[in-house]
Structures are given as C-alpha cells and as structure tokens.
C-alpha cells in the first residue's frame, strides 16, 4: 500500500506539472500572437549604407506604424501635428541609431550627425540610394500636411565617423524583437570599388559582417545551424524518440543517421533541388506530428530502436528539406565562401543535434530517477506528447491539403519522393544490425526474482 501511495503521489505530481506546462505554453502562444496584433503581418524597413572617405552614411526608412510608442503629437482625427513634432523626431533618430548598430573592424560606431523627417505613404524615394539621398536634401513637408499618424514613413539620415571606407563593416539589428519575423530590414550595402550587396535582416539579428572573410562566414553559418535542432517540434520528436531507452550510444547512432540524411537533403534543397518549397514545411510538420503519435503509442506498447532508425531516416530527409530554406536565406551572408558556409551550417546542425540529445537524455534520466520512475514517466510523457501531437497533426494536415492543391507542377513531389525512398533504404539497414543494438535495459530487472531451473546441489 505504501508503494501504491508513492506511485499515486508521483503520478499526481507529474500530472500537475504537465498541466502547468501545457497552460504556460498556451498562454505564451496566445500572448505572443496577440502582441502587435494591430500591425500588418509583415513590416518592411529599408536602408542604404554607403562608406566614403572619413564617414559612413546610413539612410533608413521606418514605417510609422512601428513608432506608435513614441507618442508623436496629433491634431484633429489623428493627423500628425508637424508644428510640435521635432523633439519626437530627435528621439526617433536616437532610437534608430541604437536599434541598427554599425561596427567598423569590430568597434561599434557612434553617429556624429542625425536628421529625420516624415514622408507620405505615396513617397517612393527609397527605391534607390540616389533618390533617397535627393529626397533627404529636399524641403520637409509643409506644416499643415494632413498625414495620419500610422500611414507614412519616418526617414532618418545618420552619419558616422570612420577610419577607412574599405574597413570591415558589420551590422546588428534589434528593432522590435518582440515581433519576431514580422519585421524585416532590407539593407543595401554600397562599398567602394565593389558591387553592392543586399541583405534582408530580421528585426533581431546577430552581428553580421557585410563583406565576410571565410572564418566569419564559417562562424555565422555554424551558429545558425546549431540553433536549428532546438525548435520546439524537433525537441518534442527527440524526447519521444529517446524516452524509453537509456543506452546513449545506441540512441546516438539513430540521431546521427537522421543528421546525415538531413544534411544531405538540406544542402540539396538550398541548392535548388526542390522547384517548389510550398509543400515542404506542411509536409514535414504533418509527418513529424504523425511520427510523434506513433512513437508515443510504441513507447507504451513495444519500443524498438530498429523501428526508430527507420523513422529517423525518413524524418531526417524531410527535415533537411524543411531546414533547407533556412540555409537558403543565410546564403546572403556567405559572400564568396559558399562551400565553407554550407559545410559549417551542416556541422552546426550536427553539433546542435548532439547537444539536444545529451540534454534530453540527461533531463529524462533525472525525471525518471527522482520523480516518476521509468515506466510511469514514459507512460505519462507519451500520453501528453501524443495527445498534443494528434492535434498538431490535424492542423498540419489541413495546411498540407491547401498547399498540395495550390501546386501545379509535380516536379517537387517527385524529387521529395526519391529522397524519401533513400531514407527508407537507409532505415532498412537497421534490420541488418546486431541483435544487441535493439536490446533495451529493463530498469526493474534487478528487483525481479530470478526464474529458471534451480541448480541441483
């Protein structure tokens, strides 16, 4: 009875913890979605960066819809009061210099001059550097202009002192990071004597070199690849994959098979092997959700590392195609070092997979050892994750249906099918591995009475 009571207390504790976690994730997702709910789904900032002798010039266009918290003075039904706006424009100029940080050879630059003005929504001067520069030299809008407070632009001109126009320049963006990928900075870098480079940066980014050397490109891509395995869907899959097993090296073999196939398919995807990428993300999400449901059931019934090898091989191929767009987006930072960048990204992903597996393995071990016990922990964890994955699978299947109906060409489907076949072939190798590969330690074996013939004395 004491043992049953302890088990019940552990079950209740885990159930409460799981409930609290689900509620917390739901609230975070709801508030994250509500944050910035009055903004358009995509807000684009534009900028030009041009080094010259002794100075670095930055021209930035910011949509006024991003600047609601500056409290620009208004009149009438919500028009900007241009007679009283100068102080707020100076504050916005300082904020722009703070949120778009520029560096020369690793040293942060401080602006020596700044100016700002508002522009009408119909103004198209930022189509090129020359027209933007000319626009900022023109007279400002008349003070009686009727410009609604969130239906125009703030145009900022900043000037920085530099030692050489051919130095190594870099940029770091920290504009409205709470909005995530909804804010983009389209930056055109105009170096002396070299072709211009165009970058699309998220509202929050690392410090990015604008003309990278090979080791800078390697570090940038390795860092980007390392964070890929820590996405929530990948962590859920990894936890469900590893939950019933306590043999780390056998799990590592499964994860490395996944990683190798993922690296091959993501490189192929980034190089344009898939003509239409609209199908890939919902296909991957649906596949992973379905796999988590199957793994959750198998965890309770009869977990097998061989079946996990097969599953991981197929998921690895689809995961590579899903991650391929990340690598494709990062190509803008490769400069002249495309090969080094691709290799570094794959190495970063592999290292991230290894670290994620170690963390999941240690966390599960601590949970099972000090809180729930292995059997109860695997059962409750599988039920919670399987239930969540079921709803996730239904939502993803709905998006997949819409994506599939919008695709006219079948070329992308054929390419993905060939890669999935490769994953199945690699997964089939597991059935030729030694029997001991699939052996699973029973943590309660030592406490069971021995059975079998009793030796005669």
Q: pLDDT tens digits, residue range 427-437?
A: 888 787 776 66
Instruction: Kindly state the average pLDDT of the residues 229-250.
Output: 87
**Residue 402: its pLDDT value, please?**
79
Instruction: Name the pLDDT band for 451 (thresholds 50, 70, 90).
Output: very low
Instruction: Name the pLDDT band for 248 (thresholds 50, 70, 90).
Output: confident
The yes-or-no verdict on residue 94 having pLDDT over 70 is: yes
State whether 142 and 88 are in the same domain.
yes
Instruction: Name the pLDDT band for 18 (thresholds 50, 70, 90).
Output: very low
1 part of a folded domain: no
The yes-or-no verdict on residue 28 having pLDDT over 50 is: no
Q: Which of 211, 235, 262 is the last residue of a domain?
A: 211
6 part of a folded domain: no
Check: CB of residue 327 under 8 Å from CB of residue 280. no
370 part of a folded domain: yes
**Residue 425: its pLDDT value, please?**
87
State whether 419 and 302 are in the same domain.
yes
Write out the residue range of the structural domain in which residue 191 sits: 43-211
Of 74-78, 108-112, 152-156, which range is least confident? Answer: 74-78
Tell me the C-alpha distance between 307 and 303, whole Å: 8
> What domain count does the chain have?
2
State whether 264 and 391 are in the same domain.
yes
If one compares 27 and 343, the residue with the highest pLDDT of the two is 343
State whether 173 and 293 are in the same domain.
no
Helices (H) and strands (E) counted in the chain, each on its own, are 11, 12
Instruction: Kindly state the average pLDDT of the residues 414-420.
Output: 77
- Cα distance from N-terminal residue to C-terminal residue, the chain: 38
State whether 199 and 239 are in the same domain.
no
State whether 235 and 206 are in the same domain.
no
**Residue 454: its pLDDT value, please?**
38
399-407: long-range contacts, CB 8 A cutoff, minimum separation 24: 399/282, 399/285, 399/286, 400/279, 400/282, 400/283, 400/285, 400/286, 402/282, 403/278, 403/279, 403/282, 403/283, 404/279, 406/278, 407/276, 407/278, 407/279
If one compares 135 and 338, the residue with the highest pLDDT of the two is 135
State whether 157 and 237 are in the same domain.
no
State whether 317 and 189 are in the same domain.
no
107: its two tokens: 């040293």
3-state secondary structure of 244: coil
**Residue 337: its pLDDT value, please?**
85
Tell me the C-alpha distance between 250 and 248, whole Å: 6
Q: Please state, rounded to an integer, the average pLDDT across all residues of the chain.
A: 81
The yes-or-no verdict on residue 3 having pLDDT over 60 is: no
The yes-or-no verdict on residue 448 having pLDDT over 70 is: no
């Amino acid at each position: 009875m004491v043992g049953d009571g302890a088990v019940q207390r552990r079950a209740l504790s885990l159930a409460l913890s799981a409930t609290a976690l689900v509620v917390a994730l739901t609230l975070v997702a709801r508030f994250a979605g509500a944050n910035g709910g009055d903004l358009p789904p995509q807000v684009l900032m534009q900028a030009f960066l041009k080094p010259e002798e002794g100075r670095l010039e930055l021209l930035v266009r910011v949509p006024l819809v991003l600047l609601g918290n500056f409290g620009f003075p208004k009149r009438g039904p919500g028009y900007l009061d241009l007679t009283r706006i100068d102080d707020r424009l100076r504050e916005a100029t300082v904020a722009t210099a703070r949120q778009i940080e520029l560096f020369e050879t690793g040293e942060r630059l401080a602006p020596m001059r700044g100016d700002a003005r508002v522009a009408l929504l119909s103004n198209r001067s930022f189509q090129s550097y020359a027209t933007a520069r000319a626009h900022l030299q023109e007279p400002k809008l008349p003070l009686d202009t009727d410009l609604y407070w969130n239906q125009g632009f703030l145009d900022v001109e900043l000037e920085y002192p530099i030692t050489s126009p051919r130095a190594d320049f870099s940029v770091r963006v920290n504009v409205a990071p709470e909005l995530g990928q909804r804010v983009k900075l389209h930056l055109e870098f105009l170096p002396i004597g070299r072709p211009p480079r165009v970058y699309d940066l998220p509202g929050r980014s690392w410090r990015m070199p604008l003309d990278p050397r090979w080791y800078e490109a390697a570090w940038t891509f390795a860092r980007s690849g390392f964070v890929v395995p820590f996405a929530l869907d990948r962590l859920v899959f990894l936890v469900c994959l590893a939950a019933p097993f306590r043999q780390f090296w056998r799990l590592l073999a499964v994860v490395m098979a996944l990683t190798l196939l993922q690296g091959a398919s993501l490189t192929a995807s980034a190089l344009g092997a898939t003509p239409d990428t609209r199908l890939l993300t919902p296909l991957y999400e649906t596949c992973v959700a379905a796999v988590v449901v199957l793994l959750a059931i198998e965890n309770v019934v009869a977990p097998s590392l061989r079946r996990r090898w097969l599953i991981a091989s197929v998921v690895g191929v689809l995961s590579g195609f899903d991650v391929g767009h990340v690598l494709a987006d990062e190509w803008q930072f490769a400069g002249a070092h495309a090969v080094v960048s691709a290799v570094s990204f794959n190495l970063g992903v592999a290292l991230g997979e290894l670290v994620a597996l170690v963390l999941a393995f240690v966390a599960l071990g601590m949970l099972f050892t000090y809180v729930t016990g292995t059997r109860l922990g695997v059962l409750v964890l599988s039920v919670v994750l399987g239930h969540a994955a079921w709803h996730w699978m239904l939502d993803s299947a709905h998006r997949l249906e819409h994506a599939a109906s919008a695709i006219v060409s079948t070329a992308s489907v054929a390419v993905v099918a060939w890669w999935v076949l490769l994953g199945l072939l690699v997964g089939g190798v597991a059935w030729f591995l030694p029997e001991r590969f699939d052996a699973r330690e029973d943590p309660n074996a030592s406490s069971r009475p021995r059975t079998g013939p009793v030796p005669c004395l």
